[in-house]
A and B are shown apart, each in its own frame.
Chain A
Amino acid sequence: MNALLTRVALGALLLACSVTALADIPRPDGNPRRPAPPPPAEFSTRFSISPDVRATEARLVIPRAVWQELRTQFDGGGQTANTAGSLRLGNTQTVLAGIFLSLACACGGLWLVRARRADGRAARVAFGLLLVASGGAAAGAAYANAGPPPVARSLTSRILIPEAQPYGVWGEVKIEIVDDSGPVRLVLPTGKDRGRE
């Protein structure tokens, strides 16, 4: 009985010590007092500069979707909202779209093979025309999306030249939220261009 009591007491003492010991383990950043600072709140979005002869003042127009994403980002702990209307595909979406497209091709092929044996010449011709039209439309869409010259594809100080104005300019911009009370600024990198100027 005494031996059992002794073991229980030793076990309790060990547990109590372990709590104290664990509580003294330093934080990974090595500073036990100061909590780790949250990662800087930032996210990337698209940005464009469009010359407009009718405009009377410069405007930074932020679409509501981007604003909602900003709110979500800074109020909701960093979860990125899916921008409505954007065609940014997640991995799952891309994979499933690919699978369904493959299934469509496979089913279409099987149907064509089966239809060769039976009647259905008109349907086969219609299917072939549909295929050609779809391919043509896709190719048209792809070519129609051809971008402007390289000078207008990134936001650098080179955009501030008259040659870029017919196209307008777009590129990626990083939005930073700072505590300064200054104006909204668009900072353009100039390092790469100094040598050329």
Chain B
Amino acid sequence: MVTDAQQLSAHGPRAAGAGRQTHSAGARCEPRTLTYAAAGVAFCLLAAGLISWQPLQLSVATVFLFAGPHNLAEFRYFLARLPARWGRSRNFFVVGLAGVALLTVTYALLYAAGQAWYLSADAQTFGVALWETALVLWLCVLVNLRGRRRGRDRTWVYACGFALCAGAWVAPLWFGVALVYLHPLVALWFLDRQLKRTHPRWRNAYQLCLAALPVVLCLLWARLANAPDLPAADALAWRITRHAGAGLVPGVSSHLLVATHVFLETLHYGVWLVLLPAASYGARAWRVERVPVAVARGGRPRLVKTTLALGVCAVCALWLGFAADYATTRDLYFTLAVAHVLAEAPFLIRLL
């Protein structure tokens, strides 16, 4: 039986070869490639236009509709990428998964302590900086472990990591906002690696779309550069604007910040819910016959199926929570969803 992971690795050399062919033919720039790229750019422009018009409302709508399902899609994708036996990558996966669990728990505790007023503002800042330091060092260890596994010296990552830690201590809140804006872009990186492995023919169109992304962002910023701040009329609007960095970035309209964040989040959801499934497991989302953890000798197909079913239940529960009390559920979601942000790191590092 061929699993998704085996299929991907089996496709690797062929895919790379096909990629070379595509690149050599890239100068001709096939009409179909241009059509797909134009469709992608048109979608981005349309999304940016709509979001710049009603950023708060679309922030609420996109999180309500797509936050839960995209987490489930990510989980399914990571499940397909997780080998049944870790072998020589054991240290990498142990450090990776333990880091995800520890950092998620400490993040939630930090949030809860801050909400319950157990921490003074200074202690909260200290805790945030400490958490960010742990996050950066964890990433450095993962990159180094992956480098050792592949026989490459990646100790330079510690120099960069310590410099980032210094930045985290100088401006911990800025560091957090940077994470908020960088996280949606990670999905684009995942998609690029996935296309390189399985659908190199799509990659030209995708890279054209990627090249157009800064232009779309510049158009969005040009349109909203002088826009007045969004009215923080209620607690929810205030939270959304604060989440996007309003009050932290001086002289920048909160309208622009929220629109930028919602636009990037929309791309993030689109990649995880449409493009990555289409490029990887396709319509086999619920078939676990190709998931290594399920089909390997001693694998646990029932556990995998049960976990996926629980994931569906969690998505439904999230929708119910949003319907009952959107603001509280949103806060809870963004606190616990840090787990999926962290889980992306080991899998992306392994793909590089």
Interface residues in chain A, defined as those with a beta carbon under 8 Å from any beta carbon in chain B:
63-65, 79, 81-82, 84-85, 87, 89-90, 92-93, 96-98, 100-101, 103-105, 107-108, 110-111, 114-115, 118, 120, 123, 127
Contacts and interface: CB of A to CB of B under 8 A. Distances in A.
A81 B166 contact: no
A107 B248 contact: no
Question: Mostly helix, strand, loop or mixed at chain B's interface?
Answer: helix
B165 A108 contact: no
Contact of B156 (A79, A103, A127): A127
Contacts of B124: 82
Contact of A110 (B155, B161, B169, B170): B155
A57 to B, nearest CB: 18
B129 A96 contact: yes
Contact of B163 (A90, A96, A100): A100
A103 B162 contact: yes
Nearest to B123: A82
30 contacts: A65-B247, A82-B124, A84-B248, A85-B248, A85-B249, A85-B250, A87-B170, A89-B170, A90-B122, A90-B125, A93-B125, A93-B129, A93-B170, A96-B169, A97-B167, A98-B166, A100-B162, A100-B163, A100-B166, A104-B158, A104-B160, A104-B162, A104-B166, A107-B156, A111-B155, A111-B158, A111-B159, A114-B153, A114-B155, A115-B156
Contacts of B155: 107, 110-111, 114
Nearest to A110: B155
A92 B166 contact: no
Nearest to B122: A82
Contacts of A100: 133, 162-163, 165-166, 169
A123 B247 contact: no
A52 to B, nearest CB: 14
B120 interface: yes
A82 B166 contact: no
A92 B173 contact: no
B121 interface: yes
Contacts of B163: 100-101, 104
A111 B126 CA distance: 30
Chain B CB within 10 A, most for which of A92, A104, A123: A104
B247 A107 contact: no
Interface string B131-162: 00100000000000000000001011011111
Interface of B: 120-122, 124-126, 129, 133, 153, 155-156, 158-163, 165-167, 169-171, 173-174, 247-250
Nearest to A93: B169
Contacts of B120: 79
Contacts of B249: 85
A9 B176 CA distance: 68
A64 B166 CA distance: 28
Given A79-B120, A92-B126, A114-B153, A101 B162 contact: yes
6 A-B pairs with least C-beta separation: A108-B159, A104-B162, A82-B121, A100-B166, A85-B248, A104-B163
A189 B170 CA distance: 35
Contact of B169 (A82, A97, A107, A115): A97
Contact of B247 (A84, A115, A120): A84
Given A85-B173, A127-B156, 20 more contacts: A65-B247, A79-B120, A82-B122, A84-B173, A85-B250, A90-B125, A93-B126, A93-B170, A97-B167, A97-B170, A100-B169, A101-B163, A103-B158, A104-B159, A104-B163, A104-B166, A108-B159, A111-B158, A114-B153, A123-B156
Contacts of B126: 90, 92-93
B156 A108 contact: yes
Contacts of B247: 63-65, 84-85
Contacts of A107: 155-156, 158-159, 162
A84 B167 CA distance: 16
A73 to B, nearest CB: 12
Nearest to B126: A92
Contacts of B122: 82, 90
B171 A87 contact: yes
Contacts of B160: 104
Nearest to A108: B159
A85 B170 CA distance: 11
A194 B77 CA distance: 75
